[in-house]
Amino acid sequence: MKTALSLLLILSLAACTKPAPPAAASDEPHPESVTHWTPATELFAEYPPLVAGETSRFAIHLTRLDTFKPVTEGRVEVKLSAAGGQTESFTTDAPSRPGVFGVDVKPAAAGPVRLSILVSGPLDATHDLGEVTVHPTRAAAIHSHDDEDDAAIAFTKEQQWTLDFATFVVETRALRSSLRVPAEVLPRSGGEAEVSVPFDGRLIADRLPIIGARVTQGQVLAQLLPPTSAPSDLSSLELVRNEAQLALQLARRDRERAARLVESGAAPARRLDEARTLEATL
């Protein structure tokens, strides 16, 4: 009797236990976002999925690529172009705050359209964002999205504009195979030796080895000529010549001055003879 009662109680509990209901899907469409570049501007736009007859608020962030700062003035137009040639345009004449342009877009009919955003004013740019779908109902606009990464850190355009920050399109391009830069070649540790000589002289070498060049034992690297009493190098000879020319010029001016003094009777004739003798010996 106890066994039958226990079995009946277990069956009753099992019958009362219901499976957990599936998680309810979100009733709101997931917002769309897109980033696009032109040579002059970077665009980042967020907007709800387009639904025919309903207004979708576009938050359009525009950045100047010459300064990577927000676009602070200008006119922005959101254009929807259907395959049949019908075009709808929605515009705003100024940003709601620096860099952010709000545009209300209300498409008239459902179907595929080509979305483009045009910027005019100090900067002119056209962002062709490709084909998007205008859904017939809000329910049709609800579709699956990848789960957001909870570990991701948001870095908004407003935060980027306050920093020295820039973004670039990842692309394949040619790089230089080599780069010329200034550098200094140093010998390896223990690979340097100093050579000293017991007297002064002039170093003569056809070609001095540079750091890193290979030398052999007993190889003559340079020669040292001891100094001589008579100058033999070009610089010393030029110095002697310049000194002689200067002495001759001084002797000539002294002789001319002595001649004027003798002629005026202010100096004896012997003074002129001495000046002439000195000039002649140089």
Question: Which CATH number is 100's domain given?
Answer: 2.60.40.1930
Does residue 271 lie in a domain region? yes
Domain span at residue 263 reads 234-281
d(C-alpha 246, C-alpha 189), whole Å: 53
Instruction: Please identify, among 161, 196, 219, the residue that sits at the C-terminal boundary of a domain.
Output: 161
Does residue 275 lie in a domain region? yes
d(C-alpha 134, C-alpha 6), whole Å: 61
Question: Each residue of 92-141: pLDDT tens digit?
Answer: 999 999 999 999 999 999 999 999 999 999 899 999 999 999 999 988 88
Domain count, the chain: 2
Does residue 215 lie in a domain region? no
Instruction: Please identify, among 126, 161, 196, the residue that sits at the C-terminal boundary of a domain.
Output: 161
Does residue 134 lie in a domain region? yes
**Quick count: other Cβ atoms within 10 Å of Cβ 62?**
26
Does residue 92 lie in a domain region? yes
Instruction: Please identify, among 129, 161, 193, the residue that sits at the C-terminal boundary of a domain.
Output: 161
Beta bridge pairs of residue 131: 114
Q: How far is CA 120 from CA 34, 56, 57, 68, 81, in A?
A: 20, 22, 20, 18, 19
Does residue 25 lie in a domain region? no
Does residue 253 lie in a domain region? yes
Q: Give me the pLDDT at residue 201, please.
A: 75
Does residue 218 lie in a domain region? no
Question: Each residue of 179-229: pLDDT tens digit?
Answer: 888 988 887 787 777 777 777 777 778 888 887 788 888 888 888 877 766
